[in-house]
Structure formats: C-alpha cells, structure tokens
C-alpha cells in the first residue's frame, strides 16, 4: 500500500508544480505570469504547493501509522531493529534494515522507516515487512522511499512491531 501513497504524493507534487507554473506563466494575452505577476500571487502559489506537499507527506505518515495499528497481538520491537546508511537507487533512496529476533520462536516484523534530511525534517515514511525471522537470528530487508527525495541524510526506524 505504500506505493499507492507514493503515487498520490507524486501526483500532488506534480499538480502543485503545474499550478505554480500556470500561475507564474499565464497566457500570451498578458494575464497572469511574467512581469505582470505580483509577488504576492507567486508567494501564495508557492505556499499552496508547499502546503499540498506537506499534507501529502502527513497523509503518508498517517497511513504508515495506521498500517502498524492494524497489527493485532504485536509487541514493540523497535529496539530489535537497526538501519544502515542511505544509498541512491535510481531516483529513489534506500537503506538496509536489520532485525534481530531475540525471542524463542520464529516471528514476523513490520517496520515504519522514516527518511529525513540533515535538519531532521521528515521527507518520506514507508512501511515494510521482514517475515519468518528464526528465533535468535537476524534478517535483513531494504527500505525504499516512495518517491525521489531532496537532500536525504539518513533513515531511521520510526517503529517496529514483532508479531
């Protein structure tokens, strides 16, 4: 389901950019855009675009939290999960996630992974699974951002549930 929200976020970003371009450019008859545009109109368009992107990111983050909340009988296993450095993978950002099953039986893990910039600002959030981790063993998975990220700095475990 993470890809659904990634597509929604991408579509909203494109729509915001198109709205900004049409506000800034106008038509050949002098309406909108060019030297006739007011700084206030352009600032308003930028604010609107930023607000839509922020709303989409908030929605993706809420969807990740909601997905985790759907798990019944799970236990907090955030301390059992670590994430490595981020890497570029085409137009996406990835990070290797490791879970260690410290219990006495095979378990599945559902994790929320957050991608952040250097200031700590949330850029993207995904939900991933690492299944069938044997008792006392480690397993790895790859967290992949939903979209292209601007200046990502790190990935971190937002929450992990063992079930």
Q: Quick one: 134 and 79 in the same domain?
A: yes
Residue 5 burial (CB < 10 Å; 0-12/13-18/19+)?
Answer: buried
> Domain range for residue 152?
75-162
Distance (Å, rounded) from C-alpha 158 to C-alpha 115?
A: 9
Query: 14 and 29 in one domain?
Result: yes
What residues contact 113, with CB distance under 8 A and at least 6 apart? 83, 95, 97, 125, 126, 127, 128, 143, 155, 156, 157, 158
Q: Is 46 exposed, middle or buried (0-12, 13-18, 19+ CB in 10 A)?
A: middle
pLDDT tens for the chain, 163 residues long, are: 444 434 334 433 443 333 333 334 444 444 444 444 444 444 444 444 455 555 656 666 666 667 767 777 889 999 999 999 999 999 999 999 999 999 999 999 999 999 999 999 999 999 999 999 999 999 999 999 999 999 999 999 999 999 9
Q: Do residue 40 and residue 102 come from a single domain?
A: no
- Name the domain boundary from 50, 69, 88: 69
Rounded CA-CA distance 113/157 in Å is 5
- Same domain membership, residue 89 and residue 57: no
Rounded-to-integer distance, Cα 34 and Cα 28, Å: 10
69, 101, 117 - which closes a domain:
69
Helix, coil or strand: residue 160: strand
Residues 44 and 20 grouped into a single domain: yes
Instruction: Indicate if 64 and 41 belong to the same structural domain.
Output: yes
Among left, alpha and beta (phi > 0; psi -120 to 50; other), residue 32 is left
Is there a single domain that holds both residue 13 and residue 61? yes
Report how many domains make up the chain: 2
pTM exceeding 0.75: no
CATH number at residue 118: 2.60.40.3230
Based on the fold, state whether residues 85 and 153 are members of the same structural domain: yes
Q: Which of 69, 96, 121 is the last residue of a domain?
A: 69
């Amino acid at each position: 389901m993470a890809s659904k929200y990634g597509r929604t976020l991408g579509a909203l970003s494109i729509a915001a950019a198109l709205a900004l371009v049409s506000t800034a450019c106008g038509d050949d008859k002098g309406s909108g855009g060019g030297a006739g545009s007011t700084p206030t109109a352009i600032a308003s368009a930028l604010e609107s675009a930023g607000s839509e992107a922020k709303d989409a990111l908030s929605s993706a983050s809420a969807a990740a939290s909601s997905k985790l909340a759907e798990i019944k009988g799970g236990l907090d296993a955030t301390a059992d999960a670590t994430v490595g450095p981020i890497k570029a993978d085409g137009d996406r950002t990835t990070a290797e996630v490791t879970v260690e099953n410290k219990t006495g039986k095979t378990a599945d893990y559902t994790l929320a992974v957050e991608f952040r910039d250097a200031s700590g600002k949330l850029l993207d959030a995904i939900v991933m699974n690492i299944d069938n981790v044997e008792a006392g063993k480690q397993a790895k998975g790859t967290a992949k951002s939903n979209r292209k990220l601007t200046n990502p700095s790190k990935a971190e475990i937002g929450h992990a549930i063992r079930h």
